[in-house]
Each structure stands twice: as C-alpha cells, then as structure tokens.
Amino acid sequence: MDERNHVQCLGILRPVRDALDVLNGKWKLPIIIALTFGEKRFGEIVKEVEGITDRMLSKELRDLEINGLVKRTVYDTYPVKITYALTPHSQSLNGVIEALRSWGELHGKKVRSE
C-alpha cells in the first residue's frame, strides 16, 4: 500500500538527511578520512587532502569541531604544536566511509568502461 511505503520511506529519509546535513560539502569526509590513521597537524592534512586550500581546511575543521567530530589539541611546547584528531563519535563513521569507498570504486569502474 502507498501509506506504508510513505511511512517506511520517512523512517529512512530523516536520519539520512540528518547525516547529510553534518557531512555535506566536498571536504568533510576527505578530512575525516585523512584523520582516521591518527591525529595530524594542519599542514599534514593540507598535504593529505589533495586540492584543499588553507582557508577551506580552516573553515571545515571548525565546522567539524562544532559538530563534535574532530578534537583540536594544543600542545604546550615551544614552538606550540596543534593537532586534530577524530572523536569517538566520528570513528563511528567508518561504516559510511567504507560503503562510499566500495561504491565509489564500483562507480568509477562503470564510468571508465563506458
């Protein structure tokens, strides 16, 4: 029936849109991926995430920090060292990343074979 379809659809749509709101844009997931292998410094992330500018990384890191996905740490050494790391909450994104990676590979192959 149509009504059941609609209700079922909503149950998926709402959380997916919640997720998309937080992960939107070109850079958030790439940044998170770069951090999956351990905390990194600003300059290291710039090198890892090809094409990102200082300005975008700065802005995106702030967004991610506000949303509780990234933790910024200032080491009180001289000179000061600043690192970014994933929070436990963003480590739960592993499934999303793996699904996207796997589909992206499939899609890439498909596109190249056309």
**If binding is defined by CB under 8 A, does position 20 make contact with a second copy?**
yes
Q: Of a second copy, DNA, none, which one sits near residue 52, judging by CB under 5 to 8 A according to partner kind?
A: DNA
Question: Which whole-number Å values give the CA distances from 112 to 14, 92, 98, 101, 103, in the listed order?
Answer: 33, 32, 21, 16, 14
Please state, in angstroms and rounded to a whole number, the distance separating the CA atoms of residues 6 and 80. 54
**If binding is defined by CB under 8 A, does position 9 make contact with a second copy?**
yes
Using CB atoms within 10 A of its CB, is residue 20 exposed (0-12), middle (13-18) or buried (19+)? exposed
- The DSSP output letter for 15 is H
**If binding is defined by CB under 8 A, does position 91 make contact with a second copy?**
no
Minimum separation from the CB atom of position 81 to a second copy (A): 16
Residues that bind a second copy (CB under 8 A): 5-6, 8-9, 12-20, 22, 24, 26, 29-30, 33-34, 36-38, 48-50, 68, 89, 92-93, 95-108, 110
